[in-house]
Amino acid sequence: MKFTEFDFHKDLAKGVKIAGFKEPSPIQEQAIPIISSGSDLVGQAHTGTGKTAAFGLPMMDKLAKGEIERALVITPTRELATQVADELYHLGRFAGIRTLTVYGGVGYGRQIALIHKGVQIVVATPGRLKDLYKKGKIDVLNPEIVVLDEADEMLDMGFLEEIKEIFEYIPQNRQTLLFSATMPEPIKELASDILYNPQFLSVVGDEETTNNVIEQRYYMINENQRDDALVKLLETEETNKCIVFCRMKREVDRVTEHLQALGFSAAGLHGDLEQIDREVVIKGYRRGQTKIMVATDVAARGLDVKDVTHVINFHIPFDPQSYVHRIGRTGRAGKSGQAITLVTTEEFRELQRIQKEVGAQMRLATLQGGEGLDESGQEYLAEQIRDIHIHNNASDMIAYMGDMDREILLEKLMSRLIVEEQQNTGTQIGFDQDTVDEMMEGYSAEKKVTRNNNRRRKRR
């Protein structure tokens, strides 16, 4: 199928052609006719599959043809609101369709003024939108089409009540479209409340949870190897753009500083950043000025950046759906991606639970280090040797060597130190399958003993 078959308004079709759109993606091919017909829609698709154009093009076609006057798109984050608005602007600019982003952290005045002037598409975050409706500032905003984008993200971020309240201010005679990557029960209930006789479509099929173009692997490590494992992976993987996920804000700061000190192009993203600093970080990452983004789950929600080749879970996520959202940042639009998870023996059961619940096919991997020490390792060892205190028995040991050539003796001692340093730093990242099996057998036996001891104590 070709985009020319949709019979869009000629000015909108011009924007589509200049954007280079030729053949619609699956979500676009299925959603556009449904939306054009006026039906409500629940669409299940991952970010990066062309959802914005899927709802944006038929919506703007109706605007260009004068069938409707206003449309509203609700997104979970400011970043996603900006991305959606930018794409809609570029597609609809020849049709003269005006788009406005509405979010918190900036003044109300301009947003309210433009809505009253009659801007046709408002792309808004739930908090600011609810606030404006509640204060009676935007009573003139009566959209005929309302889109909820990334509905499951809004649920995760606690916006469900705000969404329900917003729909109390919106006229009933509207077309409502809901898009979500996953369909947890609260989202199904929300759809039942705010949509009328909707049509359902899904383009995720049996791979609803993880993208099949993403290679997923994990490294079983000791806790004290986490930093070294991350650095070695970043040194050996051919990354274009990489996101490193941490659980805590303080861990984001620590890992970012560590990587920057080693010369990596890294920046941190978490909820404590001021909005202006957040925008600078994201803009630098999107433009490729920064190659590595270190982020928390909450900070990265709604972040849509092209050409992310690697997602590294520095810590395993708290729940399976967080894993899905994390790795969904790579492998978009049919491109391949790499999802790497660092996990300890204590976290292995949690990893197995994620594999089972989301159907992830992860393989155990190891990473071999190079022979000998690299230049930084040699410098570190040399510095250590300079600082060694001379032992009282050192002269006696040299005497035991007899007439051995002093240069050979020095080389032998250096060899011993180098081998010890290699053993300390490790030449392999991650345990192999046999070692993991042995460790987990021992772990299971230990758990069994603990359970039996607990039962005996209860009987007493």
Give pLDDT tens digits for 290-299.
999 999 887 6
The Cα 31–Cα 42 span in angstroms is 9
Tell me the C-alpha to C-alpha distance, in Å, between residue 131 and each of 112, 190, 349, 430. Answer: 12, 20, 43, 50
The residues, ordered by sequence, that sit 6+ positions from 344 with a Cβ below 8 Å of its Cβ are 220, 221, 222, 223
Mean pLDDT rounded to a whole number for the chain: 84
Averaged pLDDT, 304-315: 87
Q: Quote the pLDDT of residue 209.
A: 43
If one compares 445 and 185, the residue with the highest pLDDT of the two is 185
The Cα 325–Cα 301 span in angstroms is 8
Contact 101, 123 (CB under 8 A): yes
Averaged pLDDT, 151-171: 88
If one compares 413 and 301, the residue with the highest pLDDT of the two is 413
**In degrees to the nearest 10, what's the CA dihedral of 16, 21, 22, 24?**
-100
The Cα 429–Cα 417 span in angstroms is 21
Averaged pLDDT, 451-458: 63
pTM over cut 0.85: no
Q: Which residue is it, tokens 């089972």? A: 356
The pair of structure tokens assigned to 446 is 């230990």
Q: Give the CA radius of gyration of the chain.
A: 28
If one compares 209 and 216, the residue with the highest pLDDT of the two is 216
Q: What confidence category does residue 424 fall into, taking pLDDT thresholds of 50, 70 and 90? A: low
Tell me the C-alpha to C-alpha distance, in Å, between residue 361 and each of 95, 185, 293, 453. Answer: 46, 25, 25, 36
Most confident of 9-18, 197-206, 344-353: 9-18
SS3 454: helix
The residues, ordered by sequence, that sit 6+ positions from 62 with a Cβ below 8 Å of its Cβ are 36, 68, 71, 144, 145
Q: What confidence category does residue 145 fall into, taking pLDDT thresholds of 50, 70 and 90? A: very high
Closest CA to 150 of 182, 175, 127, 122: 182
- Least confident segment among 265-279, 341-355, 373-387: 373-387
The strand pairing partners of 123, in sequence order, are 73, 101
SS3 273: coil
First-to-last alpha carbon distance for the chain, in angstroms, is: 74
SS3 328: coil
Would you say residue 243 has pLDDT above 70? yes
Would you say residue 208 has pLDDT above 50? no
Averaged pLDDT, 221-249: 88
Stretch (H or E) spanning 145: strand 145-148
Q: Quote the pLDDT of residue 8.
A: 93
Neighbours of 345 (CB within 10 A): 16
The C-alpha angle with vertex 85 and arms to 80 and 91, in degrees rounded to 5, equals: 130
Would you say residue 450 has pLDDT above 50? yes
The pair of structure tokens assigned to 254 is 């620590």
Averaged pLDDT, 129-141: 91
In degrees rounded to 5, what are phi and psi of residue 47? -60, 140
Q: Percent of the chain scored above 70 by pLDDT?
A: 86
Would you say residue 210 has pLDDT above 50? no
Q: What confidence category does residue 92 fall into, taking pLDDT thresholds of 50, 70 and 90? A: very high
Contact 149, 179 (CB under 8 A): yes
If one compares 308 and 57, the residue with the highest pLDDT of the two is 57
Neighbours of 332 (CB within 10 A): 21
Q: What one-character DSSP code corresponds to residue 199?
A: E
Averaged pLDDT, 76-103: 89
Identify residue 400 by its one-letter amino acid code.
Answer: Y
Averaged pLDDT, 213-225: 85
Q: What confidence category does residue 61 fall into, taking pLDDT thresholds of 50, 70 and 90? A: very high
